[in-house]
Amino acid sequence: MSAQLSSAQTPSSMLQGQKDVLSKDAGECAICLEELVQGDTIARLPCLCIYHKGCIDEWFEVNRSCPEHPSD
Ligand SMILES: [Zn+2]
Ligand SMILES: [Zn+2]
């Protein structure tokens, strides 16, 4: 078991999503199945999917790709 922080250089920025505040209703969050409504803090992924920021943060703790585009 090494104590080195080998994950420090992982280029994860593409998986973080672009944090934003929703300016208009955008349908359903595919993770929690609740509506995405104006004023919600959301994250936009490179594939243009939108989720609640909190939802996608939790999702990325155990998954490395978009819930709707799992093929990486
Ligand atoms: Zn959600
Ligand atoms: Zn997607």
Q: Which ligand has an atom closest to residue 36 CA?
A: 1
Q: Which of 49, 53, 54 lies closest to 66 in space, CA to CA?
A: 49
pLDDT at 18: 86
Digit-coded pLDDT (tens) for 5-59: 544 444 455 567 789 999 999 999 999 999 999 999 999 999 999 999 999 999 9
The torsion angles phi and psi of 55, rounded to 5 degrees, stand at: -65, -50
Q: Which residues contact 37 (CB under 8 A, 6 or more apart)?
A: 22, 25
Q: How far is the CA of 42 from the centre of ligand 1 (A)?
A: 9
Specify the pTM: 0.74
Residue-level pLDDT at 1: 60
By DSSP bridging, strand 18-21 and strand 41-44 are: antiparallel
What the block records as the tokens of 1 is 């078991």
Where do we find the tokens 């004023």?
Answer: 39
